[in-house]
Every structure is written in structure tokens, then in C-alpha cells.
Amino acid sequence: MSERSPHRKPATFKLGDPGVIVMDGDDASRPARGTVHVTPESDPALLPVPLEAEVLPAPRGFRWGTLFWSAVGGLTLLGVGLGVTQLIEDLFARSEGLGFLGLAFAIAAALAFVVVVTREAFGLMRLATIEKLHLRAIEVLASDDRAESRAVVQDLLKIAHQNPHLARARAALVGHADDIIDGADMIRLAERELMAPLDSEARRLISQAAQRVSIVTAVSPRALVDVLFVFAASLRLIRQLARLYGGRPGALGMIRLMRHVISHVAITGGMAASDSLIQQVLGHGLAAKLSQRLGEGVLNGLLTARLGLAAVDVTRPLPFTALPRPALTDLAKDLLRKREGEE
């Protein structure tokens, strides 16, 4: 048997002594015998801060798809315009009164079209502003830029100004803004003051939507009814969450939000379409119990809740740093408690 080397007794030394060698943790070299090896630990302040994954910008280039749909839209508008013009001329040829009536209808339709297009454009611009604000907040958390944090908070206050329920939170944030020096702390303060009541309301909306989907799909006799109801409930939930966090999406805005939400769900792991999701959330024993008692209703409710959580990540103007991210487990427990209470 090989003899064990005796343990070295505790001793004190100075870092400036010639027998003390400071080494990196990944240094594989062997220093001289009889020297003291010191490996400094990493400074917690220098450790990387976990942030949300940065959204990679789309590659820039000539978009043939945009050109195609723009050309098709222009041709469609020209065709509709020529058809309306021909119709009004025919009406004037038949009767002057019918001509003026057709002209009035055409003017009203054109005015309504301009208003709808303007609202859609403002809705898309507002969604783009919230997305940029989210990315700017992530950059401030990484760089700790004080001036940029003030700009982010000012833009956030402009978005939250139209929500009367955030009046007290806005006043508290403005009152403490001068006391904050670090830019990252300013973003965290804004999140605690402005996002906390909105996150609570978002959880309530998601929980209600999940419960509604669970009940309807559990008693529905047709699969087609289940699909249509889940789709309508998901659209309604995403629109409610977008309006809650300051967005005002129209038809095009909803299409854009749905695309972002589905992409976010796919990136973050997707939605399980089997009982494994329930097993992951609530445990094997309870999952087996749920599979017998509630079946597809609870599963559809959980999938709706998962979609709602993804919508929160997409529509929220600030990332989750100071506040905890809503978890699917909490919503699943609320859903189970509600269903057991009904039984």
C-alpha cells in the first residue's frame, strides 16, 4: 500500500511572497514543489447575467414576396377602382339620382377604407414600438446605461399613460426615478411598479381562458367544435393580453402576433399534445387521476394556458428580471382546483 502524504498544517502567507503562485482555474501546468498555489474565485459581480434570448434580426435583402404581394394588391385596387368607376358611370347613364347615390356609397367606402388602413398602420407601429422597447430594456440590463434606462422608462410611461389603473404606479415610479443611479436598477424598478399589476391581470385572463376551454371541450360532442372554440378563445386571449400591455392590434396586428406567439412556443419547447404534458406539470399519480376524470378538457386548457404564457412573453414591453415569470404549474393547479370544485 502506498503511504498517504501527511496533510499540510494551516499556515498564513502573503500574496507577495516568492513561494506563492497565483494560477488560473484552467491552468494545467505543475508549479515547483514546495510552493503555495492560489486559485482566485470568480467575482460574482463579473459573472454573466442570464438574460432572455436575443431575437436575431431578419437577414436584409430584396424581398420578392413583399414585391409580389404589393403588386397583387395594387392590381386588385386598380381593378376595384375601375369597376366602381364603370358602375357609377352606368348609374349616371340610367338616372342622375342613382349616380349620386352610387358616388356617395363609393366615397363612404373609400373613407372607411382609409380609416381602417390608418388604424392598422398605427396598430402595427405600436406593436413594433413595444418590441423595440423590450429589446432596448434587455440591452440596458446588460450595459447598465443610465441615460438609456431613463429613455426606456419615459417611453414606457407614454405607453402606460392611457391605462388609468396604473396612475398610482406611474406616480410612484416618477417619484423614485431620481433616487436610482444604475440603469439596470431603473429597469427593475419600472418592472416592479408598472408590470406587477399587469402581470396579475394577465394571469387572471389566462386562467379564465384555460378554464373556459377546459369546460367547453370536456362537454362538447364534436371535435370540430373543440377546434373552432379553442382557436377563437386563443385569438381572444392574445388580443386581450396585447391590449393589457399597451398594444392595440388590428387584423394585421393579430396575424403578426399569432406568428410571433407560435414561433415563441416552438422555440421554447412547443406544446405537448399528449398526457406527458400533464405528467410533467402535475406528477405521475395526479396525471393518471386527471386522465380518467377530466381527459381532453384539462389538456386543452393547459395548452391554452401555455399559449397565453407565450403571448405574455411576446406582448410584454419589459423582460422578466425583478418579477418571477408566470409558471404553467401554477396555472395548472388553478385549473385543477377549479374543476375539482365544480365536481
Between CA 46 and CA 48 the distance in angstroms is: 6
How confident is the model over 184-242, as pLDDT tens digits? 888 888 888 888 888 889 888 988 888 888 888 777 777 777 788 888 888 899 888 88
Spatial CB neighbours of 308, under 8 Å, sequence gap ≥ 6 = 202, 205, 206, 209, 210, 237, 238, 241
pLDDT of 82: 92
* Cell (9 digits) for 306: 401555455
What does the pLDDT look like over 48-95, one tens digit per residue? 545 444 444 555 666 788 888 889 988 998 998 899 899 999 988 888
d(CA 88, CA 99): 6
User: How far, in Å, CA of 339 to CA of 148, rounded?
Assistant: 47
Strand partners, 21: 37
Question: Tens of pLDDT along 26-49?
Answer: 666 666 666 666 666 655 445 554
Which 3 state secondary structure label does DSSP give 22?
strand
pLDDT band at 107 (very low <50, low <70, confident <90, very high): very high
Are residues 298 and 335 in contact, defined by beta-carbon separation less than 8 angstroms?
yes
Q: What is the mean pLDDT of residues 274-299?
A: 52
Residue 226 CB contacts under 8 Å (≥ 6 apart), including other chains: 216, 217, 220, 296, 300
* Every domain of the chain and the residues it spans: 79-144, 196-342
DSSP 234-262: HHHHHHHHHHHTT----HHHHHHHHHHHH
Considering the entire predicted model, what is its pTM? Answer: 0.66
